[in-house]
């Protein structure tokens, strides 16, 4: 192909405006560059497309025939460009979220995000912190929102938002009236907690340093709802993120329990591969949730 789209744009713009000056203004080009583009197009094919009458250019018969063909080509080119832009804007975003984040945070963000960016399709994958971390490592999700820390050399970990875990029992439990547990009370409890390696468990184990080996762990469960149901039944004392039991505490189904100044503060994290190249959709989502 010996012509360029810019030359066709100049050719058709002169036909519309009747002059090099008018075409230059329409295309935001200099008059010399506009004149040179037309001259190069004519010279390459050893043909004339216009009759020069003073400062005006009038299409000759050959030019008039070529104008419609040029306009068709330009319309196709602009349509192709529009489809490319549309495919870039209509992006697929895959997000992994650990259980508490998925159940109590991420879908509220998603509802607001989709109103602002309807062209971005978001797919949410839910699992434990180790499961989501593995999906990030295996390129199965663009990034993960998790509750636990990871030190894998291929991952970039960024703090997202603060969270606190709360010990709690059913309102009918004998400890419900006590509100504040001593270390002896903690050791006497039957604990219903998350499974090892989960984000909840990392924080719980850290907060129970010095007592961990002596704790009575009745059951370990992989789902927050299962823990809440077990606690409701009076089987023991649980410890979950504050966002997971907020509604039940407000409804007075659960009673929060102090832990003798044992810290259960933590962070949620954004996890990505270090070699991950963020595209526009993921950049917009991360900016949005921050």
Residue 173 has pLDDT above 90, yes or no: yes
Residue-wise pLDDT tens digits, 98-152: 988 999 999 999 999 999 988 888 999 999 898 999 999 998 999 999 988 878 8
Half-sphere exposure of 260 (CA within 13 A, CB side): 12
Cα first-last separation, the chain: 49
Cβ atoms within 10 Å of 75's Cβ, excluding its own: 10
Is the pLDDT confidence value at 56 over 80? yes
Q: Which of 205, 99, 196 is nearest to 145 (CA)?
A: 99
Over residues 8-29, mean pLDDT? 89
Average pLDDT, the chain: 89
The pLDDT confidence band at residue 163, using thresholds 50, 70 and 90, is very high
Write out the DSSP string of 166-210.
Answer: EEEEETTSGGGGT-B--HHHHHHSEEEEEPTTSHHHHHHHHHTTT
How many beta carbons lie within 10 A of that of residue 114, not counting itself?
13
Residue 212 forms beta bridges with which residues?
none
pTM over 0.85: no
Phi and psi (nearest 5°) for 50? -130, 155
Q: Are 289 and 109 in contact (CB under 8 A)?
A: yes
Q: Where do the domains of the chain lie, and which CATH numbers do they carry?
A: 5-89 (1.10.10.10), 92-160+268-289 (3.40.190.10), 163-266 (3.40.190.10)
pLDDT for res 94: 92
């Amino acid at each position: 192909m010996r012509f360029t789209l810019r030359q066709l744009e100049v050719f058709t713009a002169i036909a519309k405006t009747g002059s090099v000056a008018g075409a230059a203004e329409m295309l935001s080009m200099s008059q010399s560059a506009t004149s040179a583009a037309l001259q190069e197009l004519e010279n390459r094919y050893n043909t004339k497309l216009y009759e020069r009458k003073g400062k005006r250019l009038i299409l000759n018969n050959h030019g008039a025939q070529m104008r419609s063909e040029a306009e068709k080509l330009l319309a196709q080119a602009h349509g192709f460009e529009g489809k490319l832009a549309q495919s870039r804007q209509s992006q697929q975003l895959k997000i992994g979220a650990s259980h508490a984040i998925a159940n109590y945070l991420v879908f509220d963000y998603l509802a607001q995000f989709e109103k602002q960016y309807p062209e971005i399709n978001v797919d949410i994958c839910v699992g434990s912190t180790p499961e989501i971390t593995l999906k990030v490592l295996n390129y199965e999700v663009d990034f993960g929102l998790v509750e636990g820390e990871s030190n894998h050399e291929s991952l970039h970990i960024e703090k997202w938002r603060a969270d606190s875990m709360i010990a709690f029992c059913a309102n009918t439990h004998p400890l419900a009236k006590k509100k504040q547990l001593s270390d002896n009370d903690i050791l006497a409890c039957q604990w219903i907690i998350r499974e090892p390696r989960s984000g909840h468990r990392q924080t719980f184990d850290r907060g129970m340093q010095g007592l961990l080996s002596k704790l009575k762990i009745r059951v370990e469960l992989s789902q927050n709802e299962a823990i809440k149901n077990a606690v409701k039944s009076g089987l023991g004392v649980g410890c979950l993120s504050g966002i997971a039991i907020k509604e039940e505490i407000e409804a007075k189904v659960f009673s929060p329990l102090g832990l003798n100044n044992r810290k259960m503060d933590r962070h949620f994290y954004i996890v990505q591969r270090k070699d991950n190249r963020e595209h526009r959709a993921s950049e917009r989502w991360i900016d949005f949730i921050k």
